[in-house]
Amino acid sequence: MNGKEIIDVIYGMNTGGKEKMFFLKTLTIDLLDKEDVWDDIDNLREFFNKQLIVHFRNEGIMINIMERELALTTEEKGILSEILAEHAVIIKEYEELNKFIEKYKNNPQDRHIRESVIDAAHKIFGLLPPHAAKEDKYLYPLAKEKLSDKHLKELEEKIAGYKFENK
Provide CATH code, domain 5-160: 1.20.120.520
In the predicted model, is pLDDT for residue 69 greater than 80? yes
Whole-number Å distance between alpha carbons of 1 and 8 = 10
Domain residue spans in the chain? 5-160
| Mean pLDDT for the stretch of residues 103-128 | 86
Task: Give the residue with greater pLDDT, 149 vs 11.
Answer: 149
Q: In sequence order, what are the residues at sequence separation of 6 or more whose Cβ sits closer than 8 angstroms to the Cβ of residue 31?
A: 37, 40, 41, 114, 117, 118
Q: Is residue 99 very low, low, confident or very high in pLDDT (cuts 50, 70, 90)? A: very high
pTM: 0.80
Calculate the average pLDDT of the chain: 83
